[in-house]
């Protein structure tokens, strides 16, 4: 995707700058942009190290397994077709807990494992089943307790209170997830 | 307002405390494990650095050349009718497509309008509440060789759209 967007951005903006004589500003921005990338990465480095370290500790404990208990009724509602497939349901709830905790590295393998288990029971291997579709939509909506990257960017830009966005993020991300699930359920009902 | 601040400030310390306490009870070598994870954190940042350099260049050029303002100038009359802040538009467009691209765009907007300004806060909330939809769909479908993805792109984009709109409304109400 970026193979198309990136050159497009460069060609458009560089020729625009040459045509309309904004070259001085452009020259300045060429060098300041690389500097900004360095600055952002240095500040990201601290937060990402800290958070990854904490999350590594979490992944070594049984905390993910324990927290899946709270998800049982939700999973039951979201995946009615899985019925007695407790093993798949367990993988799905672990994927969800890992996502919520922000354990991206742990969440994806768990999610793919669940996809593979569902694929085994899929009658048409080229087409997604309802449950598979629901799992993917859940993952694209990804509810997160701590929006680490957004906080790291805010602190790198010198925000007064980088974590102040956490509560608004909860509201937005939960709304997005509900919208995604509602859309999925409707599409399934309409036989799409 | 007060409970919003309370939840926002307690979230991170609470999660860290819980995890460390839990690991302590389960007798895990906490600090060694922390170091392993932190090292992985370095690798993640270093691996996105080249992408960020490239994208910061492209996005800086879009802004400084004047083409972005020109585009926004044309779109804003339409968006203003829906009360949608035009400044957010570039982020809303790139968010579902590219993770590092949206980091670059969000940083650019936050820096230009102020990180604690309403626009800056909206950007951060959008970043925190949405995912790189196209990438996620690609990873999950390609892992098992699915060809027909049915409606999931639409359902996910609806979720992203709602997430962005709710982010804007929430920020307008709170700040």
Residue A134: strand, helix, or coil: helix
Mutate to test the interface with B, among A22, A61, A99, A127 (most CBs of B within 10 A): A61
For residue B93, what pLDDT band results from cuts at 50, 70 and 90? confident
- Going from N- to C-terminal start, the domains of chain B cover 2-174
* Interchain CB contact of A119 with B (< 8 Å): yes
**pLDDT of the residue at A144:** 87
- Residue A142, pLDDT > 80, answer no
Closest CA to A184 of A123, A131, A106: A131
Element (H, E) at B69: helix B67-81
Residue A127 — φ and ψ, nearest 5°? -115, 140
For residue B81, what pLDDT band results from cuts at 50, 70 and 90? confident
Q: Do B149 and A128 touch (CB under 8 A)?
A: yes
B99 contact partners, CB below 8 Å, separation of at least 6:
B132, B135
- Residue B154, pLDDT > 90, answer yes
Q: Which of residues 114-173 of B touch A (CB under 8 A)?
A: 115-116, 120-121, 124-131, 133-134, 136-137, 139-141, 143-152, 154-156, 158-164, 166-167, 170-171
**pLDDT of the residue at A108:** 87
* Interchain CB contact of B41 with A (< 8 Å): yes
Between CA B118 and CA B154 the distance in angstroms is: 29
* Interchain CB contact of A109 with B (< 8 Å): no
- Mean pLDDT on A1-21: 89
**pLDDT of the residue at B145:** 87
- Residue A1, pLDDT > 70, answer no
User: ipTM score here?
Assistant: 0.89
**pLDDT of the residue at A14:** 93
Question: Across the interface, which of B48, B121, B134 has its CB nearest the CB of A165?
Answer: B121
Residues B127-156 as b/e (b if ≥16 CB within 10 A, e otherwise) read bbbbbbbbebbebbbebbebeebbbbbebb
- Mean pLDDT on A152-173: 93
Mutate to test the interface with B, among A176, A183, A184 (most CBs of B within 10 A): A176
Mutate to test the interface with B, among A126, A136, A143 (most CBs of B within 10 A): A136
Question: Across the interface, which of B16, B38, B60 has its CB nearest the CB of A33?
Answer: B60
Q: Which of residues 24-53 of A touch B (CB under 8 A)?
A: 25-26, 28-30, 32-34, 36-37, 40-41, 44-45, 48-53
Mean pLDDT across chain B: 91
Contact indicator for A30, B60 with CB cutoff of 8 Å: yes
* Interchain CB contact of A165 with B (< 8 Å): yes
Closest CA to B107 of B51, B162, B156: B51
- Mean pLDDT on B145-172: 93
**pLDDT of the residue at A171:** 95
* Interchain CB contact of B71 with A (< 8 Å): no
What angle (nearest 5°) sits at the alpha carbon of residue A98, between those of residues A54 and A71? Answer: 130
- Residue B72, pLDDT > 90, answer no
């Amino acid at each position: 995707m970026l193979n198309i967007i990136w050159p497009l951005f460069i060609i458009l903006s560089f020729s625009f700058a040459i045509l309309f004589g904004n070259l001085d500003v452009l020259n300045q921005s060429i060098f300041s942009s690389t500097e900004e990338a360095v600055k952002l990465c240095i500040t990201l480095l601290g937060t990402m190290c800290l958070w990854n370290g904490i999350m590594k500790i979490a992944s070594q404990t049984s905390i993910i397994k324990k927290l899946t208990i709270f998800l049982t009724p939700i999973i039951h509602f979201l995946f009615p077709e899985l019925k007695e497939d407790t093993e798949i349901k367990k993988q799905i709830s672990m994927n969800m807990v890992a996502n919520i905790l922000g354990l991206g590295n742990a969440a994806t393998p768990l999610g793919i494992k669940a996809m593979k288990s569902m694929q085994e029971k899929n009658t048409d291997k080229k087409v997604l089943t309802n449950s598979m579709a629901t799992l993917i939509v859940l993952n694209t909506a990804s509810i997160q307790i701590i929006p680490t990257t957004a906080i790291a960017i805010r602190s790198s830009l010198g925000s007064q209170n980088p974590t102040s966005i956490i509560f608004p993020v909860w509201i937005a991300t939960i709304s997005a997830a509900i919208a995604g699930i509602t859309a999925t359920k409707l599409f399934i009902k309409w036989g799409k | 307002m007060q409970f919003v601040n309370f939840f926002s400030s307690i979230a991170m310390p609470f999660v860290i405390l819980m995890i460390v306490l839990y690991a302590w009870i389960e007798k895990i070598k906490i600090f060694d494990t922390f170091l392993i994870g932190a090292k992985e954190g370095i690798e993640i940042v270093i691996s996105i650095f080249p992408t960020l350099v490239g994208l910061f260049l492209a996005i800086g050029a879009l802004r400084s050349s004047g083409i972005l303002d020109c585009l926004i100038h044309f779109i804003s009359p339409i968006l203003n009718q829906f009360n949608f802040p035009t400044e957010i538009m570039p982020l809303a467009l790139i968010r579902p497509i590219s993770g590092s691209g949206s980091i670059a765009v969000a940083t650019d907007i936050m820096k230009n309008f102020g990180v604690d300004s309403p626009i800056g806060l909206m950007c951060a909330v959008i970043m925190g509440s949405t995912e790189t939809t196209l990438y996620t769909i690609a990873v999950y479908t390609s892992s098992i060789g699915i060809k027909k993805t049915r409606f999931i792109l639409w359902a996910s984009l609806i979720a992203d759209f709602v997430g962005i709109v709710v982010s804007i409304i929430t920020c307008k109400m709170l700040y």
